[in-house]
Each structure stands twice: as structure tokens, then as C-alpha cells.
Chain A
């Protein structure tokens, strides 16, 4: 039997993700099809193909990726990827932490930021009009899981 690498979330499952994102960030609607790979990783496909058409392609050729990795399910919460934040930024209304330039640099170099947020949840990291990502905040710091490939390496580049 052919195993399917991507599970297409049904409307109930999609609604659950939307509800979590609404509670966390005020996001009301996720436009597109959500697919799940493994236990946690969520992908968003916004192309004009319906579920049946995607399945037909999947049955005929090996698919490596559908859409973009946009979020990860972490226990009862959802952590948005950098792209997830970018795709949904116009809907984000709460749990936004605006960093100053020094902290934004620290964050983008891949380090934790020692900042009192008073929150214990996932937050959206922002600097000026740059949406930098989404990360877990504790009361005194924001942890950092920025992938190596998306980290700043040149210390002068934000100056």
C-alpha cells in the first residue's frame, strides 16, 4: 500500500488550528489548504487545486513538498514559522513583541533575548516593519529557534 506523506487536514481539523491561532495571535482565517507532515509540521498550499486533484498528482508522481512550511504544533499551541508570520501578518493583532535594534540583532544572530515580556506563550517578534518570526516567551526572556540558514552572520548588516 502506498503511504501518503502529507495528510490533508479536514475542515474540522483546520478549524482547530484556526481557533488556536485566533487565541494566540488574533488570526481569524487561514486562506488555503493545510497539510500535515509527521506529527507536528503544518504546510499551507494556496494553489488552485482541490483535494481530489492533489491526491491524483500524489498517486502518480513522488511529491517532495506541497506549499510552504508555515507552522508547527507544539503541545496545545501553534508556533508559526517565519513564512507563516509573513503570510498571516496582516491578521496578527496580539502577542506582538516589538524589539529595539540591539535586541533585534541579538535575535537574528540566533541568541535568546533577555527581555521582560510578562508573557508565557508564543509571541510574534517584530522590529520596525520587519516581521522576524515567532517564538516562545517566558516572563524574562524570549528563546530562539531561528534556523541557521535564516540567521544574520554579518554584524554590520543592520547598522
Chain B
């Protein structure tokens, strides 16, 4: 299934320091080679059935009428679909079913944070960095428009895209706020508004998106990687204060950089000590445990409970997930 979906294309030259870091991360030569190889191939065309509007069975039948071959790769998540057919550029977004909000075009790995968050009906959920809305619409579908979601975004331009996606998908349980994430949490703390679950799909250096976004090759720089953890930790620290006791947080990035992943998780464990517990994550694809050493840094062994998603393991983009529970 995987091999026939691989479509090779020309990619920009990765920066030497990026390659050096990735090689250090993989250690195993064959693994590194497989990683570089898969970057040359387009990611698969994946969609998520919007169960607020239609069942996966009905959607599959409708899309098959176009001659599209639909694969449901994860038994536990029938809403997740791969379109295994050669399509014209943009065709996936032009079907009647897409225009009516029956499905959302979403990369497979990008669906994992919400699967790990396990939203339930009636819960109060905060999606702290929510644009363009792929994960917010996924949460709303899991909740069947019950409970409520606060979907926050700082950029007005991105809010327009977020609002448009929420509308197309028929999301009625969500309030969109425009505020810097940490400041938003401080306001909610003052108001004593607390959440059952929080998703922090944090801004990151985006190394995991190289297969679909060429510009990441050009924009990649080590300064960004060194400066982001402060922002990422600050978002988490403030979000933690408005999480209910017993509530859960998913911290996710679409990067492989340990500074933004295990480095931040390590700092979270140091800061919150016995107030927090790192959780095992249930996701339907192969993942690797978090690393405990990077350059001169040694991390808390508990960071092994985090998940590294590598493109070569499942033919997806790259991702990182950590799940926490608030104990006190």
C-alpha cells in the first residue's frame, strides 16, 4: 500500500546543519537513509470524514463514485481515509463533498494529537493555537458539538481561515478568541474558567512538514529552534494553571528538534514535579519513544513516554506528542 503511493519529486537542498542534526538523531545509518529517501516523496492524500455531517461509510461510497480509491488505514478510526488515486492538483478540495464540509483535508500525522487527547462529549476543551482549524474541527466532531471549545488564535489572517473551516464543517460548539496564548490563559485564570482538556499544538520550527512544505527547507534555521522553547514552555505553563485537577494536556509539535520536544517536556517535569504526571499515549501508528540525551543535555527518563513520529515509519509527516495529567 505504502510503496505505490510514493511519488518522487525534486526537493530543495537541505541545510548542512539540519542534516547533521538529523543524522545525530537517527544514529542508525539505514534509518537516516530511509528518512532522507522519504523526504523526496509526496505525502499521501489523506482526508478526515466530518462525522458531524456524514458517516464514514456514506462518504466512502460517495467518493468512490468519482473513481477514487478510498483506503481506511486505521481500524480504530474509520473517519481517517487515504485517497489512493492520482488526482489533479487541488482536485481534493474542489469536490462537492468538500465544499459541503463532508470531509477535511488533513495530513495523517496531524490527526494524532486529537486522537491522543481523546475528547469526550460534554467536555470543556481549549485549543490554544487553533488555526487553521484541522484539529478544532476534529475535536468538535469527536464531541458531536456538545460541551464547548475555545479555539484561540493570535493572527487575524489565520482566524479568517479558522472561522471559514469551522463554518464549512458545521462546528456550533466553539468560540473563537484572538489573544496571545499565555495572556489568554492568564485572563481565564482570573475569570476562574477551567478546562477538562487542553491542546497545545504549539508554534514550532516545522521540520516534520518538509514533505508537504518546501519553504521549511529554506526557512529552517538553528536560531528559531533555540528561541522557540521559551515560548513553548510559557504557553504550557500558563495553560496548566487553567486545567482542572485530573484534566489532561496534549503538547504537540510538527518538528523533530529535541530542544522543542523533550527539552520542553523535561522543563515541564522539573517545573511541576508532583503536580503533573506524564501519560502513555494511544495512537494507531508506529511511534518511537522520546530521547533522553541530546547534545550536552540529559533529560528525565520519563520523557520516554512521549512519542516521536517519523515520516519513514508510517509514510506520514513528522510529529511529536506528549500527554500530561494534572494531579494537583
Contact = CB atoms under 8 A, between A and B. Distances in A.
Contacts of A63: 175-178
Given A45-B172, A47-B148, A47-B172, A130 B96 contact: yes
B78 interface: no
Interface stretch (B183-191, B205-213, B300-308): B183-191
Contacts of A68: 166-167, 170-172
A48 B144 CA distance: 12
Contacts of A134: none
A65 interface: yes
A49 B124 CA distance: 10
Given A60-B187, A130-B100, A151-B99, A46 B173 contact: yes
A44 interface: yes
Interface in A3-44: 32, 44
B69 to A, nearest CB: 17
B274 interface: no
Instruction: For chain B, give the interface size range.
Output: 35 or more
Contacts of B164: 149
A149 B100 CA distance: 11
Interface stretch (A72-80, A81-89, A137-145): A81-89
Interface string B147-190: 11110000010010001101110111111111100001001101
B95 interface: yes
B170 A47 contact: no
6 contacts: A46-B173, A49-B175, A64-B177, A64-B178, A157-B94, A158-B96
Nearest to B124: A48
Quick one: which of A54, A130, A132 has the most chain B CB within 10 A? A130
Contact of A48 (B122, B178, B193): B122
Contacts of B101: 83, 86
Nearest to A46: B172
Nearest to A59: B191
User: At the interface, is chain B mostly helix, strand, loop or mixed?
Assistant: mixed
Given A108-B96, A152-B96, A46 B145 contact: yes
Interface residues of A, number: 37
A61 B170 contact: no
A154 interface: yes
Interface string A104-145: 000010000000000000000000001110000000000000
Interface of A: 32, 44-49, 54, 56-57, 60-69, 81-83, 86-87, 108, 130-132, 149-154, 157-158
Given A66-B176, A151-B99, 8 more contacts: A47-B146, A48-B146, A57-B150, A60-B188, A68-B167, A68-B170, A87-B170, A157-B91
A45 B172 CA distance: 5
A49 B96 contact: no
Contacts of A69: 167
B53 interface: yes
A65 B99 CA distance: 21
Contacts of B53: 86
Given A60-B191, A130-B96, A150 B177 contact: no
Contact of B174 (A47, A54, A132, A150): A47
Contacts of B159: 64-65
A86 B100 contact: yes
A103 to B, nearest CB: 14
A153 B172 contact: no
Contacts of A108: 96, 99
A57 B96 CA distance: 36
Contact of A154 (B91, B145, B150): B91
A151 B173 CA distance: 26
A56 B187 CA distance: 11
